[in-house]
C-alpha cells in the first residue's frame, strides 16, 4: 500500500515568499508544525492508502486528464485559519485561479481517480495549540502578504511517507498539461 495524493509541488521561485510568511507565523503565540520547504504543495485530491497494483492505472488516468487542460496561472494570497478563526487547526494560503481551470481539473481527478478534494490551498502549518486566540486572529488579519503567482503546468502523483520527523514526498508520476 502506498499513501499518496494528486497535486503539485510548489516551484522554487515562490517558496522564498512563503518561507517569510512561515517565519512570521512562528512569532505568533501558538504551537505549530511548519510545513517543510520541500513539502510545500497544492493537493488536488488526497487518495490515502492505495494498493500498489492500482498505481499504474492512476498514472494512465492522469495522462488522459492532463490532455484536457492547458497550463494556467494561479495566485497565492489570503492567509486563513482552517476550519475557523475560533478553532484553528491549520493555517493556509488561498490558491486563486482567475481563469477557472483549477476547479474542473480537481473535479475530474476526483471523478476519474477518486480521493477527496478540498478548496485549493497551500498549507503553511498544522496548529497544535493556540496560547492567545484573540492576538493570533488580529495578527493574521494584519499580516503583510506578498506571495505572488506560479503556473500550474503539470499534475503529479505524489507518495507521502509519514515519518516521526514529518512526511517525505516523492513524485511517482508527472504529466505535463497542454
Q: In this predicted model, which residue has the larger pLDDT, 141 or 58?
A: 58
pLDDT band at residue 164 using 50, 70 and 90 as cut-offs = confident
Q: Domain coordinates of the chain in residue numbers? A: 2-176
pLDDT band at residue 165 using 50, 70 and 90 as cut-offs = confident
Spell 148-166 as b/e; 16+ CB within 10 A means b: eebebbebbbbbbeeeeee
Catalytic residue among 121, 127, 130, 150: 121
Catalytic residue among 41, 45, 147, 173: 41
Question: What's the CATH number for 2-176?
Answer: 3.90.1140.10
> Is the CA virtual torsion 109, 110, 111, 115 positive or negative?
positive
41 is known as an active-site residue: yes
Give pTM, 2 decimals: 0.92
Residue 144: pLDDT over 80: no
173 is known as an active-site residue: no
Amino acid at each position: 500500500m502506498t499513501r499518496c495524493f494528486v497535486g503539485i509541488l510548489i516551484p522554487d521561485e515562490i517558496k522564498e515568499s512563503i518561507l517569510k510568511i512561515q517565519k512570521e507565523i512562528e512569532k505568533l503565540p501558538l504551537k505549530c508544525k511548519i510545513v517543510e520547504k520541500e513539502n510545500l504543495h497544492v493537493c488536488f485530491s488526497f487518495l490515502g492508502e492505495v494498493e500498489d497494483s492500482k498505481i499504474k492505472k492512476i498514472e494512465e488516468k492522469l495522462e488522459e486528464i492532463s490532455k484536457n487542460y492547458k497550463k494556467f496561472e494561479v495566485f497565492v494570497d489570503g492567509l486563513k485559519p482552517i476550519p475557523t478563526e475560533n478553532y484553528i487547526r491549520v493555517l493556509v494560503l488561498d490558491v486563486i485561479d482567475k481563469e477557472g481551470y483549477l476547479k474542473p481539473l480537481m473535479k475530474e481527478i476526483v471523478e476519474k481517480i477518486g480521493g477527496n478534494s478540498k478548496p485549493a490551498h497551500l498549507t503553511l502549518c498544522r496548529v497544535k495549540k493556540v496560547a492567545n486566540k484573540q492576538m493570533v486572529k488580529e495578527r493574521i488579519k494584519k499580516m503583510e502578504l506578498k506571495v505572488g503567482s506560479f503556473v500550474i503546468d503539470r499534475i503529479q502523483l505524489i507518495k507521502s511517507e509519514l515519518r516521526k520527523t514529518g512526511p517525505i514526498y516523492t513524485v511517482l508520476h508527472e504529466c505535463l498539461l497542454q
